[in-house]
Structures are given as C-alpha cells and as structure tokens.
C-alpha cells in the first residue's frame, strides 16, 4: 500500500473532498495547516488502522460513502474530519477546513 502524498491528494480531490475545504483554500493547505493528531490537537484515525479499529475507537461516522475506484477508496465523514480507507485500512484522515478556523 504505497500511496504517495501527491497521489493521495489528487485522489481526494477527485472523490470530492475539496468541498470540505473552503473554495479559496487549496486542499493541500488545509492538510498542511491541520492541528496535530494528538489529544491536545485533534485526535483522529491514523494510517493502517482498520475500519473496525476506527469504529471502536472513534465511534460510528456521521456518514459512510460507498467505495470508489480500484483499489476501492471509502470515506467515513466525522464532524471534524474525514477518514479515507483503501480497502479496509486508513490511508489518511483529513481535517475539515472549517475546523481550522
């Protein structure tokens, strides 16, 4: 599962995650400016966690989107971030831009 950051960002934009960021702010900026993934920042799922582990630790998402593409990329939307899965594993958690304000 060697997904490079530029490739992942392109895939997220293609899947429509750009709508999570304000139209005047590039998604790459929103990702770069995200708070740290710590209890004092914004704790969120990390790479290679399984869907089951995410559900157990973070609870059910507000919305589950169907898999898209090959390999299948699934999105789970939480109030402050969206989790991207490749097959059953987390590949990235993206903080919603409105959370950064």
For 65-98, how does the pLDDT look when each residue is reduced to its tens digit (9 = 90+)? Answer: 999 999 999 999 999 999 999 999 999 998 887 7
The pLDDT, as a whole number, for residue 11 is 52
pLDDT at 29: 73
**Cβ 91 vs Cβ 8: under 8 Å:** yes
Q: What is residue 26's predicted lDDT score, i.e. its pLDDT?
A: 72
CA-based nearest residue to 17, from 84, 79, 69, 63:
84
Q: What is the pLDDT of residues 11-64, one digit of tens each?
A: 554 444 444 444 456 767 766 778 999 988 999 999 999 999 999 999 999 999
The pTM of the whole model exceeds 0.85: no
Q: Extract the tokens encoding 57.
A: 């630790």
| Structure-block tokens of residue 69 | 């593409």
Q: Which run of H or of E encompasses 13?
A: helix 5-14
User: Of 85, 97, 94, 77, nearest to 37 (Cα)?
Assistant: 94
Q: Where are the domains of the chain?
A: 5-100
* Spatial CB neighbours of 95, under 8 Å, sequence gap ≥ 6: 30, 31, 34, 35, 42, 44, 80, 81
């Amino acid at each position: 599962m060697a997904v490079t950051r530029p490739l992942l960002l392109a895939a997220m934009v293609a899947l429509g995650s750009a709508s999570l960021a304000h139209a005047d702010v590039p998604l790459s900026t929103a990702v770069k400016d995200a708070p740290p993934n710590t209890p004092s920042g914004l704790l969120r799922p990390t790479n290679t966690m399984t869907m089951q582990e995410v559900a157990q630790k973070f609870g059910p998402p507000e919305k589950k989107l169907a898999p898209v593409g090959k390999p299948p990329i699934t999105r789970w939307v939480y109030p402050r971030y969206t989790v991207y899965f490749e097959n059953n594993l987390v590949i990235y958690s993206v903080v919603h831009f409105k959370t950064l304000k």
